[in-house]
Structure 1
Amino acid sequence: MLEATKNPQSAQEPSADAVPINPALAVEARIARIAVTVFPLLVLIAGVAGYLFPGALKPLSPSVPYLLGTIMFCMGLTLTPPDFASVAKRPWAVVLGIVAHYLIMPGAGWLIAGALNLAPELAVGLILVGCAPSGTASNVMAFLAKGDVALSVAVASVSTLIAPVVTPLLVLFLAGSYLQIDAGGMVLDIVKTVLLPVIAGLLARFFLKKLVARVLPALPWASAVVISLIVAIVVAGSAGKIAAAGGIVFLAVVLHNGFGLGLGYLAGKLGRLDDKARRALAFEVGMQNSGLAATLATAHFSPLTALPSAVFSVWHNVSGAIVAAWLARRPLRDA
């Protein structure tokens, strides 16, 4: 997924009470549409490569945490103070998005795993995807859907920053009956592969402004290539079992993502948010940091446990792009 493609927005129409605009948005907006179109194809090609050439890619599995760290560093590079200012400006909307994300997706993953009677490794993998923070490609989808990009960025950022605490606790609570869960180890892994790289990116953005400004246009593509490599490695690790489990995993992922998109929009409606905010929450709830889920699954369980994350990486970008295109053609209800 464009797991580190942050903030594609400058085409958003300004309003009297608009939040400050992240300068990275104008740069990334120009390439966001191309990246979102091409990226699912890159991930799909990577998945096929992992399935066909597992011997060449499986030995690279120890590099997955470092690859994810690279993606999260890129995410940190795109964050600016205005992104966090939007949290203070509209705390209710951000809190609603965070609560909806960490209730709907973990709960849906647990329910679907039980309803489909998934094998323990696959059930834990699906639940783990649901407990991950928001996928940052959700910001691109919110932009394309004419949603509230500032809210999307705020929810994605906060959900990522609190993931070291929330994700392991949710996995322990929901998946502990399937497999032994090392929650403490997960906390440490998320801090090392997510939190510290994001903070490093923020610091680099602050101290190396001119250099970062030069590399911003390349960040979406760098993220696309890296996450595609992660998918290829993860698929290679479970290539021998994909033929048997691939169909049921795909069904589970489609249902999981669909519930997230639909219930995310409904949460915004129940919270009395405007239509732009509802569109943003649909993607913030329905799209996950599947790269993190794959990393944790590989490190703490087995390659098969990472299979739902790999499938989710492909599918939620395809479904997100389709839903975003459909919403973009529908007038904003509040307008």
Structure 2
Amino acid sequence: MTGATEQHKLKVVVTGANGQLGREFVLMDTGGSFEIIGLDRKTLDITSLDQCRSVLSRLRPDVVIHCAAYTAVDKAEAEPDEAFRVNAAGSRNVALAAREIGAKLCAVSTDYVFDGSGTVPYKEYDRTNPQTVYGQSKLAGEQAVISLHDRYFIVRTSWVFGAYGPNFVQTMLKLASKRDRLSVVADQVGSPTYTRDLALFILELVQTDYYGIYHASGSGVCSWYEFAKAIMEESGSSTFVEPCTTQEFPRPAPRPLYSVMDHGAIRSNGLTPLPPWREALRHYLSQHKFPQEDHTS
């Protein structure tokens, strides 16, 4: 691959190995191209700089993929110190420890670094303006990585779903198995991202030296309502989905109304774009069994 810097089997450490994306890396069959070591909260507390240094200097990976994060968006509003301790200080610790051993760093970030008031897809270099504690803490983590590491990739993603962990697809199918009607927000727009596709993209990216910020989400755009309708259609559910507004479902943390991200860095570096979100949904549903409908209760 053009831009690849290693020919040997890459040794990759993944933080947050029990999370939705982290488990995707750990359980993925990479055909022997990578040695992937997953670290969960028990084996690496990212909020401890000493632990980050000792664990990474012992393992000496070529690449650190930093998936560990505080992701409870609503809870973060009440626990800002904890969100920043994990997302900002934790990223600082991982960045420092990775740089000291000469490992590349890929930090996973979020569309929440933007304010969601846009009308055209956000570019990698657009001004950030997070409106939630979660978004602010993730942006602080990005800034720590940029200032402390010289060989970094920051990958912002959105609307993640996959095999390992609770997500929107799972929630919708669970609700559909119990109800014949669902109301889903129709005025928030974004791009669903399948963890398997995101993990494959990141593994392609970390083999290069095309450092910088990337937007990586499923190709195409939809509202949560359109996503829910597609889930019902693709899974063969007869549950009826009706649109509602964000105002009808108030949450402690405001959700971005517009989360669509432009994939300019992927295009300009000749990397593989993520497949269309509906194709990804189909693949996901074909791999997993979900509860069947029972509207009798």
TM-score, length of structure 1 as denominator length: 0.25
Instruction: Please state which structure has a larger fraction of its residues in helix.
Output: 1
Q: Using CA pairs below 8 Å that are at least 6 residues apart, which structure has the higher relative contact order?
A: 1
TM-score, length of structure 2 as denominator length: 0.27
Larger-Rg structure = 2
Instruction: Please state which structure has a larger fraction of its residues in strand.
Output: 2
